[in-house]
């Protein structure tokens, strides 16, 4: 029997170790270390080093688990349990010394994220959750907002940066929310956006063009904090999709209706 609480405790330690590495390397980081994987997708030795640290540590916690990683420092091998990790979510922010970036870890089992950890490096904020155990931030329980009014909500999004096929629909959605809420924010790290939604800083978050490692940890956080996570068609099994809505249960119906109308499949 796998103890998800214990797994989460151990994963938190590894996440903070990776965060410490990232924090140290930022002090001497230079733009000359930046590589371009593809259009607007950047990487550096820091991403790769942090990922190697995470893989080594998480493998020791659960040797039978496979990995899905952003930087491919280990081959993906499908197993019953899968770690889904982003060693540095918000790489562009990191490169430009904008202090919003995170380490994201999710543990997948039978199409369900069982453990989620997001460590926001600059504020030393460790968000974590495990199935049935609630969601937490630095040792205190967190919950999504209870505000039921879209007009009183603060929402988050991520700008399209390589996939522009739905740009017009996205801008229409953004226009609606700009006129109908208390504001929109774009942090530059989907994992942070989801974590901030879980702890009630945002009422909801939406973005398309994402990968599993961007969202795996945050999905568990929001669900355990009492929120709802789906894709733009309302499917809750969305960790391998490229579109996500994460929101408080109170705001989700109206929030989803707007996003789905504009960005859902027609």
Domain that holds residue 32: 4-142
Report residue 39's pLDDT band, with 50, 70 and 90 as the boundaries: low
Are 8 and 137 within one domain?
Answer: yes
Q: Is 4 helix (H, G, I), strand (E, B) or coil?
A: helix
pLDDT in tens, 196-234: 999 999 999 999 999 999 999 999 999 999 999 999 999
Tell me the C-alpha distance between 173 and 112, whole Å: 29
Q: Is the Cβ–Cβ distance between 58 and 14 less than 8 Å? A: yes
pLDDT of residue 40: 57
* Length in residues, the chain: 266
Cα-only R_g, the chain: 17
Q: Could you tell me the CATH number of the domain that includes residue 10?
A: 3.30.540.10
Domain boundary residue, one of 95, 117, 142: 142
Report residue 264's pLDDT band, with 50, 70 and 90 as the boundaries: confident
Domain boundary residue, one of 142, 169, 190: 142
Are 163 and 123 within one domain?
Answer: no
Report residue 30's pLDDT band, with 50, 70 and 90 as the boundaries: confident
Look-up of token digits 């968000």: 127
Q: What percent of the chain has pLDDT over 70?
A: 98
Once rounded to an integer, what is the mean pLDDT over residues 92-103? 96
Contact residues for 137 (Cβ-Cβ < 8 A; gap 6+) = 125, 126, 127, 195, 199
Number of folded domains in the chain?
Answer: 2
Q: pTM of this prediction?
A: 0.95
| 40: enclosing H helix or E strand | none
């Amino acid at each position: 029997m796998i103890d998800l609480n214990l797994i989460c405790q151990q994963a938190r330690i590894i996440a903070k170790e990776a965060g410490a590495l990232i924090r140290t390397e930022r002090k001497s980081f230079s733009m000359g270390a930046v590589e371009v994987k593809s259009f607007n997708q950047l990487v550096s030795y820091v991403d790769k080093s942090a990922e190697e640290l995470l893989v080594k540590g998480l493998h020791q916690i659960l040797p039978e688990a496979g990995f899905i990683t952003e930087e491919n420092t280990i081959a993906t091998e499908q197993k019953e349990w899968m770690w889904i990790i982003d060693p540095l979510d918000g790489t562009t922010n990191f490169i430009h010394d904008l202090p919003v970036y995170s380490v994201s870890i999710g543990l997948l089992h039978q199409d369900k994220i069982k453990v989620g950890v997001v460590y926001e490096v600059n504020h030393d904020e460790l968000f974590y959750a495990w199935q049935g155990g609630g969601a937490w931030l630095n040792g205190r329980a967190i919950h999504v907002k209870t505000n039921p009014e879209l007009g009183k909500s603060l929402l988050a999004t991520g700008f399209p940066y390589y996939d522009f096929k739905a740009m017009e629909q996205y801008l229409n959605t953004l226009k609606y929310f700009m006129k109908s809420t208390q504001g929109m924010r774009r942090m530059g790290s989907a994992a942070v956006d989801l974590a901030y939604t879980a702890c009630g800083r945002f009422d909801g978050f939406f973005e398309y063009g994402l990968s599993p490692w961007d969202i795996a940890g945050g999905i568990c956080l929001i669900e355990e904090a009492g929120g709802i996570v789906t894709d733009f068609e309302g499917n809750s099994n969305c960790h391998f999709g490229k579109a996500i809505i994460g929101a408080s249960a109170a705001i989700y119906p109206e929030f989803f209706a707007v996003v789905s109308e504009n960005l859902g499949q027609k």
